């Protein structure tokens, strides 16, 4: 299998690595989400107490206005299990995108060099 991988062009190998990275990142995000949601229920503390979230949002609105409320909601969303899983998937997609971009640049460079050779 390694010999077959090496037989491809460099851009094809980069594209394959990008797809593998994208697939593993998506699977990793799904496994992370599954593991976090199956974990034990959170202990009762100030953040899960009845009325705490409503009171906190009201105070944030008073102190920082609408923008403070938006930032608080973003922070709550991004620290939830689904938010963290989405960030993992986005990170994998960005890394895979780098490999796809490098493959595309190599293909364009190869096309230009073959066109330049044909003109001579």
Provide CB contacts within 8 A for 33, sequence distance 6+: 81, 82, 84, 85
| Domain parsing of the chain, residue ranges | 13-35+49-114
Q: What is the pLDDT of residue 61?
A: 83
pLDDT tens track for 12-22: 999 999 999 99
Q: What is the DSSP string of 59-98?
A: HHHHHHHHHHHHHHHHHHHHTSHHHHHHHHHHHHHHHHHH
Specify the pTM.
Answer: 0.74
The span from the CA of 65 to the CA of 77, in Å, is 19
Write the secondary structure of 8-51 as one string of H (helix), E (strand) and C (coil).
Answer: CCHHHHHHHHHHHHHHHHHHHHHHHHHHHHHCCCCCCCCCCCCC
Q: What is the pLDDT of residue 43?
A: 59
pLDDT tens track for 30-75: 999 999 988 866 655 566 667 777 888 888 888 888 888 888 888 8
118's tokens? 């044909």
Q: Cβ(119)–Cβ(63) under 8 Å?
A: no
Ramachandran angles phi, psi of 9, nearest 5°: -70, 165
């Amino acid at each position: 299998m390694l010999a077959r991988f090496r037989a491809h062009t460099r851009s094809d190998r980069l594209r394959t690595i990008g797809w593998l990275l994208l697939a593993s990142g998506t699977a990793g995000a799904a496994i992370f989400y599954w593991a976090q949601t199956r974990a034990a229920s959170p202990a009762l503390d100030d953040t899960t107490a009845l009325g705490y979230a409503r009171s906190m949002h009201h105070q944030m609105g008073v102190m920082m206005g609408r923008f403070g409320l938006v930032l608080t909601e973003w922070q709550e969303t991004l620290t939830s299990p689904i938010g963290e899983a989405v960030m993992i998937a986005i990170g994998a997609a960005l890394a895979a995108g780098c490999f796809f971009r490098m493959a595309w640049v190599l293909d364009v460079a190869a096309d230009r060099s073959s066109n330049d050779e044909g003109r001579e």
